[in-house]
Structure 1
Amino acid sequence: MKKTKKEVVEMAMLNPNAAGIDIGSTEHWVAVPEDRDDERVRRFTAFTCDLHQIARWLKKCGITTIAMESTGIYWLNLFLLLEDYGFEVFLVNARNVKNVSGRKTDMSDAEWIQKLHSCGLLSNSFQPDNYTRELRTYTRHRQNLIRQASRYLQHMQKSMEQMNIKLHKVIRDLAGKTGMSIVSAILNGERDTEILAELRDRCIRASKETIMKSLEGTWREEYLFTLQQAYDAFHFVHAQIRQCDEKIEKALKKRETIEILGEEKSPIKKRRKTKNKNTPKFDVDSYLKTQLGVDITQIDGIDSLSGLNILGEMGSDFCKWPTRKQFLSWLNLVPNNKQSGGKLISSHLMNKKNTAGHIFRKSGSCLWKSKGPLGDYYRIQRAKNGGKAAAIATGNKLASIVYTMVTQQVEYDESILVKMKRHSQQKRLDNLQKKVAHIQKELEEAA
């Protein structure tokens, strides 16, 4: 009986000059096609001189395109250096380059990435330009500083609570003018509650007597020490935030060209919005208007700080996402539908971190008190599906509006949302009337 030969199916070679790199914190494994060098896979350490050696070796092997995993932040220096050498570099999600089970080594990973990339099976991740990367670094660092300042404010509140000082319970914001003035006076040795209460601002709703009662406590030395430490750290971090704001404004100014500055733009009627105390002191809105072409801060839920973070995460060129659906998918604001046999198995969001998507979700969750159509939409979704799903759904709508405004260069028009809401309500009313008419007809026939 003749044995039939097994047919081997070879995948099409779309990128013959492709290389694959497995990224590590201390070493990188680089794989090239078999016919380019006697040693197909090489190991390099992660020092800067070794990164240049990788680039020179890939040039010698005739490589034009390279794929690497996005491992932590270890990929960044090699990625930028290879781009400077003129290579086409693909940064791919580690989820898409999983190796065969049981054959997991750094060498085999590099070979597997090279094989997938040569067959054109890997898609490139979004990478910002140098300006956006610089602005993103500043805005993300600024957000980290704000979180640090919040922690030190909590430490101040804890120290006051340990002394049974209830000032942070009777005024809304301990970091405000009244709170900081009283805390500073306490640290300078003042203990008279009447003198301390005189430092309150006229906008404070609590009475002088209530503030005096809240300032009666036990002035223990160890708690005063921790209060002093937290107070100093809080003001030090805010000084760093001001320095960061200067860097952000400098980067924004650098981006503006003579042509952009020379354009005459019609003034936009500003809405009155609640001022965020963490917003930079310079005019953020004018920079957003200049670089995006539209004023996205007119949208409910998106203030100057959110707009600055959006610009820092995505830049001003939205052409990298050809369609709105691709944009929303990249933001992780749409369900990851999985179907099999014509049935929907799962529709959960992908478990991935996206800072830009988080900005839209946070902006959406801030609309629970808004009286506009977007606030109505959030409250309806919250009543139906809960707070988390409502934040995602409203963030999806905010991102859709921003994408449409920037790509089509149109200003925000709330009347469109109002008309859509009325149309939806009228449609629901018509359906209910049809159901009532149908039930009445059935009752008449039964009678």
Structure 2
Amino acid sequence: MKEIADKVGGLDVHRDTVVACTRVREPDGMVTLSKETFNTTRKGLEDLARFLIDAGVSTVVMEATGVYWKPVYYTLEGLFPQLWLCNAQHVKNVPGRKTDLSDAEWLADVAAHGMVRPSFVPPPEIRELRELTRYRKTQVDARAREIQRLEKVLQDAGIKLTSVASAVWSASSREIIEALIAGERDPAVLAQMAKSRMRAKIPQLEEALYGHFGAHHAFVAKQTIDHIDYLDAAIEALTQEICERLVPFESAVALVSSIPGISATTAQVIIAETGGDMSRFPTAEHLCAWAGLAPASYESAGKRRSAGTRHGSPALKRTMIEAARAAARTKGTYASAQYARIARRRGPNKAAVAVANSMLNVVWHLLTNGELYQDLGADYFESHNDPTVQVKRLTKRIEALGFDVTVTERVA
């Protein structure tokens, strides 16, 4: 097999150590291998960099091993013409011959022969932004779990607040729960704390608030509310920091958020995950595949079978599917019409993935062309149907019911 690189370094990364192997082809055609193990401390990584520089390698390859690759990659970044981070599934070694030294040698060998492609690693400023948006998402998820835990406490106490209120966490619900924590147990007094539209349900509230809310329920509910308040403050602080870092990308955020179903928060995540630079993805299909929203392929012996969607960026995939479900609830949009058509035949989950694919495809075009989104409308599919085909289809259905059909075209 033809070699594409003469001087390559392969790194097998672990938590405490990194095994390096340099593969250098000499002028006489002989290949020289040199292997050494280094610590992953700052001093150990500096020794690793000197080892690779002294060997004269031009391409350094490593596997994406959990989070342990990050300090190694960041230390070597900018020191070599090519620094590759590779998907571990794409560089599997020969079974039965696995050692740390052989893994490093195998990485160097497959890179020298062009048998592996580097993964997308964004620049430092995007990596920092990505860290913030992902951490914000964990806080949002934690907040949702705390609200569910509060509902569990109320149900355990026999307080059926959510049987009347639309949500366990609203202005009225919070005031009622805080009164319960403070010791108030009279359902009539608690029901009078309802606000706005919930006041029309005061009789039902009185019945729902009659339970056995005890001291231990009050303690757990108080801790839960305090945690929710802390998470609200953390989410607000993170959002403020993210907005400040996104000032250079304000135009990109505006373009992406012009798509129905994509909020400013969702647009922030899309920019953080993709970097906002669509030149890294040759086509919109490449971006969708990288996000894990494109169908995978499986073919053997000339037969193809369904293989689901490709593995991709979990954070971006989740964000786009959430946006697709939001777009499906909009009125009079192309996305809502597309979702309805597919959901009837394939179910809601596959419809959500299909709409997410379309929306990410649009994101690529908007960021590439710098244009705002122009919706095609909910009647797009109907307006593009061939009337003749529809007539034939409907005629066959009527004839199948035992009727004769004569169709005459109306004169305009």
TM over 0.5: yes
Displacement of 1:87: 4.6
SS of residue paired to 2:385: helix
Q: Do structure 1's residue 64 and structure 2's residue 58 form an aligned pair?
A: yes
Aligned counterpart for 1:187 among listed residues 177, 181, 191: 181
Q: Which moved more, 1:350-359 or 1:16-25?
A: 350-359
Shift of 1:353: 5.0
- Which structure dedicates a bigger proportion of its chain to strand? 2
Q: Which residue of 2 aligns with 1:393?
A: 354
What CA distance in whole angstroms lies between the structure 1 residues aligned with 2:152 and 2:294? 40
Q: Distance in 2 between matches of 1:40 and 1:428?
A: 69
The 3 A distance-change label for structure 1 pair 175 and 87 is farther
Match of 1:8 in 2: none
Partner-residue secondary structure (3-state), 1:336: strand
Q: How does 1:245-260 map to 2 (within 5 A)?
A: 245-253=239-247, 255=248
Counterpart CA distance in 2 for 1:350 and 1:32 is: 33
Match of 2:231 in 1: 237
Residue in 1 that maps onto 2:375:
414
Does structure 2 retain, via aligned residues, the 8 Å contact 1:296–1:402? yes
1:336 aligns with 2:326: no
The question of whether the paired residues in 2 share the 8 Å contact of 1:166 and 1:214 is answered with yes
Deviation at 1:125, TM superposition (A): 0.8
Cα distance, 1:397 vs structure 2: 1.0
For residue 86 of structure 1, report the CA deviation from its aligned partner.
4.1
**Counterpart contact for 1:30–1:41, Cα < 8 Å:** yes
Residue 244 of structure 1 and its aligned partner are, at CA, apart by: 1.1
Selected match of 1:226 from 220, 226, 235: 220
Alignment CA distance shift 1:101-1:45 (3 Å): same
TM-score (norm 1): 0.82
User: Which range moved further: 303-312 or 420-429?
Assistant: 420-429
Q: How does 1:294-333 map to 2 (within 5 A)?
A: 294-333=254-293
Q: String of CA shifts for 1:173-199, please: whole Å, max 9, x gaps.
A: 222211112222222233333332232
- Tell me the equivalent position of 2:74: 80
C-alpha change, 1:205 and 1:92, in structure 2 (3 Å) is farther
Alignment of 1:429 with 2:390, yes or no, is yes
Q: Matched residues in 1 for 2:164 and 2:395: separation?
A: 55
RMSD (CA atoms): 2.7
* CA distance in 2: counterparts of 1:117 and 1:90, whole angstroms: 9
Please give the alpha-carbon distance, in whole angstroms, between the structure 2 residues aligned to 1:76 and 1:413: 40
Structure 1 position 338, deviation (Å): 2.4
Correspondence for 1:382: 343
Structure 2 match to 1:46: 40
Letter in 2 for 1:355: A
Which whole-Å deviations, capped at 9, do the CAs of 1:128-187 have from their partners, x for residues lacking one? Answer: 122211111111111100111111111211111111111122111222211112222222
Structure 1: how far apart are the matches of 2:281 and 2:160?
52
% same residue: 25
* Pair 1:199-2:193 in alignment: yes
Distance 1:32 1:86, change over 3 A: closer
SS in 2 for 1:211: helix
Range with bigger deviation, 154-163 or 105-114: 154-163
Helix, strand or coil at the partner of 1:217 = coil
Show the counterpart of 1:137.
131
8 A Cα contact 1:335 1:349, kept in partner:
yes
Aligned to 2:324: 364
Report which stretch shifted further, 160-169 or 348-357: 348-357
Aligned residues of 1:30 and 1:110 also touching (Cα < 8 A): yes
Measured in 2, the distance between the counterparts of 1:381 and 1:171 equals: 33
Deviating more after overlay: 375-384 vs 297-306: 297-306
Name the residue aligned to 1:271: none
Q: Secondary structure at the match of 1:143?
A: helix
The code of the aligned residue for 2:15 comes to S
Residue 90 of structure 1: SS of its match in structure 2?
Answer: strand
Once the two structures are TM-superposed, the CA of residue 77 in structure 1 deviates from its matched residue by 1.2
36-45 or 15-24, which deviates more:
36-45
Q: 1:317 to 1:417 in 2, by over 3 A?
A: farther
Displacement of 1:212 in angstroms is 2.0
Question: Aligned partners of 1:175, 1:352: CA distance in 2, in Å?
Answer: 34
Is the 8 Å Cα contact of residues 30 and 43 (structure 1) preserved in structure 2?
yes
Query: For structure 1, which segment, 390-399 or 200-209, has the greater mean C-alpha deviation from structure 2 after superposition?
Result: 200-209
- How do 1:159-178 and structure 2 match up within 5 A? 159-178=153-172
- Number of residues of Structure 1 aligned to a counterpart in Structure 2: 397
2:59–2:80 CA contact under 8 A, matched in 1: no
Which residue in 2 is equivalent to 1:272? none
The TM-score, its normalising length taken from structure 2, stands at 0.88
Does the Cα contact within 8 Å between 1:370 and 1:376 map onto a contact in 2? no
- Partners of 2:10 and 2:104 within 8 A in 1: yes
Quick one: which amino acid aligns to residue 405 of structure 1?
A: L
8 Å CA contact retained: 2:180, 2:213: no
Aligned equivalents of 2:382 and 2:128: distance in 1? 40
Shift of 1:203: 3.0
Residue 21 of structure 1 corresponds to: 11
- Choose 334-343 or 30-39, whichever is displaced more: 30-39
Distance, in Å, in 1 between the alignment partners of 2:191 and 2:375 is 45
**Take 2:167 and 2:388, find their aligned partners in 1: how far apart are those partners?**
46
For residue 187 of structure 2, what is the amino acid of its counterpart? T
The DSSP-based 3-state class of the residue aligned with 2:310 is: coil
Taking structure 1 as reference, are residues 325 and 291 closer, same or farther at Cα in structure 2, changes over 3 Å only?
closer
CA distance, structure 1, for counterparts of residue 268 and residue 388 of structure 2: 38
- Structure 1 counterpart of 2:84, one-letter code: F
Q: 1:120 aligns with which of 114, 118, 121?
A: 114
Instruction: Give the match for residue 6 of structure 1.
Output: none
**Counterpart in the other structure of 1:281:** none
1:38 to partner: Cα distance:
8.3
